[in-house]
Amino acid sequence: MTRRHLSAPTRRTVVKAAAATAVAGPVLVAATGARAADGPAFLHGVASGDPLPDGVLLWTRVTPSPDAVPGSGLGADTAVSWEVAEDREFTRITARGTALARAASDHTVKADVRGLSPATAYWFRFSAAGGQVVSPAGRTRTAPAAGAATPGIRFGVVSCANWEAGWFSPYRHLAARADLDAVLHLGDYVYEYASGDYPTRGTVVRPHAPLHEIVTLADYRTRHGTYKTDTDLQALHAVHPVIAIWDDHEFANDAWSGGAENHTPQTEGPWAARVAAAKQAYFEWMPVRASTEGTVYRRLRFGNLADLLLLDLRSFRSEQVSVGDGAVDDPGRSITGRAQLDWLKAQLAGSDAAWKLVGTSVMISPVAFGSVPAHLLGPLTGLLGLPAEGLAVNVDQWDGYTHDRKELITHLRDRAVTNTVFLTGDIHMAWANDVPVKAATYPLSASAATEFVVTSVTSDNLDDILRVAPQTVSVVAAAALRAANRHVKWVDLDSHGYGVLDVTAERSQMDYYAVSDKTRRDATSSWVRSYRTRSGTQKTERADAPVR
């Protein structure tokens, strides 16, 4: 039986009853069913990530033989070559090299290419079997030089993609854009649940592989491999460098440094072994540079315009506590860990970039529930992981670690750090917030930063849980949330989609986009809202139109 921290159902248990009556979706050919013809094949696409002024990380996975499916451990080690070119036809080769796709690394390949020019688009590809088998070509882009005058940068922003809940059309729409410098993935790139444990509206759109909850290294590899067969995800990786951090579902729901809500040691083994397996698979399958500590917190620089500070809020955090015992304010508890919080503070205070962008997998702005109607409070508390009484704390977010948040916000205020924007995922809803110094007295008290939260790619939100048409009952809950949280400028509880963040010296603006129907592969995309923060204000305001 799964251990619980909270006195109320989590997001998982709220929808588990619906899963019992789930209707199976079409059977798909996932990575575990993919077959190379006779020899090597590139079945999982290509990717790039973590762009630097002089380089970028390239990724692919080669299937050396039909039986060498992800997680199997089968298949011979295979020599792979890679090329980087200035043109799509690969007539002007800039860099080339070789790598060995080993069974020990699930036949994944990474090439950390250096010696490239700043702010430049490149094409790349891989080959095997002496050049007879060639991967699809990918496109990537390096970052501006560290001190270069940079008029603007633009990122796609995504989070929370549950394979079983729908199709990844937000990725397709971002892939169709030629104006992005990179795509930020703020966590929950994969989900760990067994098939049917976490669907929406009582329907599994397409079943996970493996069907059981993933626990072992082979399981995590298979799940990552399944996701990488999605054509929209492959398209995204093929045209934009992806900058990713993890959240809990890359491991298990509500993960912390010593365990998770969705982990039972008696039946699933030691937590440390599961984490090690999940991290190994993640770094094998994602175009992400691993630090020597095996974490994802790091800094990327984009000219003189922005420092992008990426956080790891799962590896070092203290266990979530029950609401009401006062421990949320305990200075001995941390969401970041001491070393990471000190690093973040030093980066913020020492940055000479116009903007400090902080990628955080869970929301830093406080949330109180106020007078949310009773019939909506239950679904919202389950979605957010709150207790059924609706107390104003989400213990899995920064709300559960108030001392860390206070220390960070005090640091921003005392060191006069301006133009800090938190970029957030996790809660399957879109928000535009000021980050108040004192929420109880805001707006009479100051705002220390702003926060843009993007909705989920497919994972359930309010209308999915209630099984109603979007924007029918949620408008009441949204109004109540805003009334109880005056620092919240806007919240959308129903949409699925993505964001596009456009940064100039004058302002940072998030354009929010929604897809028409996550259960349709041909879902269309439309602009919903835009919010921006002007340089030096630490305030969020509505913008009339998306940036073109």
Place of tokens 């590899």: 221
Same CATH fold assignment for domains 11-33+154-540 and 34-146: no
Contact 226, 242 (CB under 8 A): no
Q: Give the start-to-end residue ranges of the domains of the chain.
A: 11-33+154-540, 34-146
- Low-confidence spans in the chain with pLDDT less than 50: 1-36, 385-392
Q: Secondary structure of 236-256 in the HEC alphabet?
A: HHHHCCEEECCCCCCCCCCCE
**Which tokens hold the place of 531?**
């919010």
Contact status, residue 357 vs residue 351, Cβ threshold 8 Å = no
> Residue 430 contacts by C-beta under 8 Å, 6 or more apart in sequence?
453, 454, 455, 490, 491, 492, 495, 497, 499, 512, 528, 529
Tokens of 10: 């989590």
Please tell me whether residue 378 adopts helix, strand or coil conformation: helix
* Structure tokens given for 419: 């133009």
Q: pLDDT tens digits for 38-79?
A: 789 999 999 999 999 999 999 999 999 999 999 999 999 999
Q: What was the pLDDT predicted at 291?
A: 80
Return phi, psi of residue 121, to 5°: -85, 140
Q: Rounded to an integer, what distance in angstroms lies between the CA atom of residue 297 and that of residue 277?
A: 19
Tokens 């007078």 -> residue: 371
- Please give the Cα distance from 508 to 531 (Å, whole number): 9
User: How far apart are the C-alpha atoms of 52 and 56, rounded to whole Å?
Assistant: 6
**What's at 121, amino acid-wise?**
A
Distance of alpha carbon 488 from the chain centroid: 22
Tell me how far apart the alpha carbons of residues 451 and 432 are, in angstroms, rounded to a whole number. 6
Answer positive or negative: Cα dihedral of 492, 250, 113, 76.
negative
- What is the model's pLDDT at position 38? 72
Structure tokens at 469: 């048409």
Q: Is the peptide bond before 373 cis (omega within 30 degrees of 0)?
A: no
CA distance 397 to 366: 9
The CATH homologous superfamily to which domain 11-33+154-540 belongs is: Alkaline phosphatase D (PhoD) (3.60.21.70)
**What residues have CB less than 8 Å from 6, skipping those under 6 apart?**
320, 322, 323, 385, 386, 387, 395
Q: Report the b/e string of 125-163 with b at 16+ CB within 10 A.
A: bbbbbeeebebebbbbbbbbbbeeebebbbbbbbbbbbb
Cα–Cα distance measured from residue 140 to residue 124, given in angstroms and rounded to the nearest whole number: 8
The closest alpha carbon to 498, from 287, 232, 253, 246, belongs to 232
| Residue type present at position 336 | T
Beta strands 138-141 and 121-128, pairing class = antiparallel
What fold is seen in the domain 34-146? Immunoglobulin-like (2.60.40)
Looking at residue 28, its pLDDT comes to 28
What does the block give as tokens for 195?
A: 């098939």
How confident is the model over 456-482, as pLDDT tens digits?
999 998 888 777 777 777 888 888 889
pLDDT for position 480: 84
Pairing of strands 447-453, 420-424: parallel
Judge whether 320 and 254 are in contact, CB under 8 Å. yes
pLDDT of residue 524: 98
Closest CA to 426 of 169, 189, 98: 189
**Any idea what DSSP says for residue 165?**
G
